Chain A
Amino acid sequence: EAQVTQNPRYLITVTGKKLTVTCSQNMNHEYMSWYRQDPGLGLRQIYYSMNVEVTDKGDVPEGYKVSRKEKRNFPLILESPSPNQTSLYFCASSLMVGFGYTFGSGTRLTVV
């Protein structure tokens, strides 16, 4: 089944403890992206990747890192999480930029 898989689905962590949210797609898509969704602010792009080893900042990149060492994986790294990063996170992929997006199931992160 063609899909974007995110893990974990739910995570509660403490301020400052490094964490990684994984994202993997099995559709051989070139383009991948991370979004966060917050009440009243909608969905905002954090980082995107046009292809392996090509990443760039979105609208809200502060406090996040990404890497794209393989085409299928695009992990989101929070080196020192803070409570303002409590949010619902989505990974998405598409064949190329400009094509239809497939979203993962989301990761609900709480930083206390």
Chain B
Amino acid sequence: EPEVTQTPSHQVTQMGQEVILRCVPISNHLYFYWYRQILGQKVEFLVSFYNNEISEKSEIFDDQFSVERPDGSNFTLKIRSTKLEDSAMYFCASSNGVFNQPQHFGDGTRLSIL
């Protein structure tokens, strides 16, 4: 069964550094999402992406964050100047439509900021 893949599984970075989290969505999907889950808290929506542009972003998704689909298969989340509170699991999701098309998630990248 097709799946969403994310790399790396674990990323350790010094505070203030930039990180790029990578995702390969399911191949025929057109809608892409990033969520994050801080330890012990809910999964939270960050951003949705369609047709090479951001469809919606949450209050969390400020100028520190950016997303990109650099080619036909990858979808990336860049976090500039990381802070301690950016430590979380980051999940990528994709769907092949909007109506009646659920989102499928990858296994996440655990980001640890030191």
Q: Do A and B bind each other?
A: no
CB within 8 Å of B: which residues of A? Answer: none
Chain B interface (Cβ within 8 Å of chain A)? none
